Amino acid sequence: MKIYISVDMEGITSLVHFDEALTRNTDFQYFRKFMTEEANAAIEGALAAGATEIIVRDAHNTARNLLPDMLHPEAKLLREWSRSPYQMMEGIDDSFDAVLCVGYHAKASTPNGTLKHTMTGEILNVSVNGISLPELGWNGLIAGYHNVPVIFVAGDQAICDQANQLFQKIETVAVKQGIGQATLSVHPKKAQSMIRNAVERACKSFDQYTPLIYDAPYTIEISFKNELNAFRASWYPGAKRADELSVTLTCNDFFDCMRFFIFVT
């Protein structure tokens, strides 16, 4: 069983402010340990279920957050941005059996979503075939492009709710609940044991989960906070201006949506 783990940071337990999630801040050094330990909990759960190969993708901000020597020795770690359209899913291919997402957060503008945003912070919304997506959904479609199901997500309650709406079947662990800008969290040790147990359960039945694949043709719509970003994106070959803040592209191969996304955001 070959497992791919994408690890973001905003959805790690207790973390509540970007001061705690951005490299040059003092508090970041404290919270990156929890990020690494939650990744380890997922690795331990996957190994307990029989995983034989595990790749961990550091998928937050600089993509240089996880502490390599603290990471479980059975996993390989993928760091830094490649600059390819795969972004938070770099390294995924058809050879994997399942994807696990740890430390994930809700899409931009989600009520009670801790540190909610969609990819760059310049984006209001991303939708594919009319379905509005958090990063988890976009990354789920990238995994689906390779026929690999997302079987698990850990993060705040808001992303767990969005996961259950997007995926037919997915195992979720909510490590915290947003209350406006505040966050009520479980203890880091408790979060780790919840993640370990749920990942083991999900990995044991990975073949019961279905990859996230929408019907072609695909229409991707990206809405920006700044009108000038929509103006710029509208020059991409085949792109159409949908309104002041939005552009769309229709394509038959989902990879063309991925390519559009990286060039215009």
The footprint of Zn ion (CB under 5 A) covers: 8-10, 60
From the CB of 217, what's the least distance to Zn ion, in Å?
A: 30
Q: How far apart are CA 42 and CA 55, in angstroms?
A: 11
Residue 143 is encoded by which pair of tokens? 């995994």
Residue type, 102: V
From the CB of 59, what's the least distance to Zn ion, in Å?
A: 7
C-beta atoms surrounding 170 within 10 Å: 20
Please list, in sequence order, all residues whose beta carbon lies within 8 angstroms of the beta carbon of residue 29, skipping any fewer than 6 positions away: none
From the CB of 163, what's the least distance to Zn ion, in Å?
A: 16
Residue among 47 and 117 whose Cβ is closer to Zn ion = 117
Residue among 97 and 176 whose Cβ is closer to Zn ion = 176
From the CB of 9, what's the least distance to Zn ion, in Å?
A: 5
Residue among 11 and 144 whose Cβ is closer to Zn ion = 11
Residue among 60 and 107 whose Cβ is closer to Zn ion = 60
Q: How far apart are CA 185 and CA 38, in angstroms?
A: 14
Nearest residue to Zn ion on Cβ basis: 60
In Å, how far are 37, 64, 203 from 43, measured between CA atoms? 10, 18, 11
Q: How many CA atoms lie within 13 A of 10 on its CB side?
A: 25
